[in-house]
Amino acid sequence: MNSSATSSTYRWAVIGTGGMADQFVADARHGNGGEFVAVCSRSQASAQSFADRHGIALAFDDLDTLLARDDIDVVYIASPHTQHRQQAMAAMEAGKAVLVEKPATLNAAQTQSLYDTAERCGVLCVEALWTRFSPVYRSVLADLRSGRIGHVRHCQASFGFAAPADPEHRLNAPQLAGGALLDIGIYPLLLPLDLFGVPDDIEGDVTLGVLGVDRSADLVLHYASGARALLSYSLDFPLPTQAAISGEDGWVEIKAPWFASQAARWQVGQAPVSQQQYPLLGTGYHYEFSAVNRSLAAGLLQCEEHSWADSLALAEVMDRIRKRWGPDYGAELEGI
């Protein structure tokens, strides 16, 4: 990390100019502790257009040129899945902190290599799984862990929409590690991991499309404790994108989209069902932006909201699902 950076303002660059980059950079204005000063894309025209749109000073079409600069402290990686690992490694080797969009890599072995590199280089590396940074999600989890509805026994969660039909779209392209699991299935899987931990067994049904990527899935996660999670995700059709959690003394339903919600319905004991509203500033991406800046100021290599262990646990569960049902991306999944 360049010594000229202060704990109050870290200088960020974004790699990628797609929709995710647009949303994150726009939302970062609600955060604190940093600012975007550079953007990198495969084409100078795309980089400059993005820079103009967001008021960013520097635009590059070459990653090495960006990483060689000493006036950039943090790199946010919003490129397609298959580029995450290489770009994150290059940034860390250049001494830059990294926030890399989920999934951080394509499998647990590659993800472990990221964090090993972060430790060796002494730089922060975080997977950008925004839900874990959301004060709404964290508030609901805190209430559950405090026993608000008693011992939690069951949860269900979904995420689904009709993806673009274009076979070249990244969600449909095997060469870009497309498919439902890595892009949206990671969200339903997050909830039972936070509630119950790593499942003892996974049953279900996964549908693969004609292009070779997974399109939808219905999964049941079983635990030795008797807890159970019912999860669904799809790129073929919309799903309610809500979550419901049941305990021995009640239930809570997190309203859509549950991973960035602003409302929940609670039924506790014999009391009537009540609606609870939660303030959520902006879209919600800026919470991880601010958390990274706080962690940098504290000299940490990871964020407590979504630690390396958290990230690896998710990757390992997704590996288990791919091994059993697919898809197989060939050489891209080396190490699984």
Cα(80)–Cα(19) distance, rounded to whole angstroms?
11
Any idea which residue has 């931990």 for tokens? Answer: 197
For residue 188, CA distances in Å to 155, 185, 223, 228 come to: 10, 6, 16, 13
Q: 2 with 71: CB under 8 angstroms?
A: yes
Cα(192)–Cα(227) distance, rounded to whole angstroms?
9
Cα(80)–Cα(83) distance, rounded to whole angstroms?
6
DSSP annotation of 304: T
H or E stretch at 157: strand 152-160
Which of 160, 157, 147 lies closest to 192, judged by CA?
157
**Directed axis angle between helix 19-27 and helix 286-297, to 10°?**
60
Check if 102 is active-site.
yes
What stretches of 177-273 adopt beta strand conformation (E)? 201-208, 214-222, 228-234, 243-247, 250-254, 263-268
Which of 66, 63, 58 lies closest to 35, judged by CA?
58
Q: Of the listed 96, 102, 255, 323, which one is catalytic?
A: 102
Q: Supply the residues annotated as catalytic.
A: 102
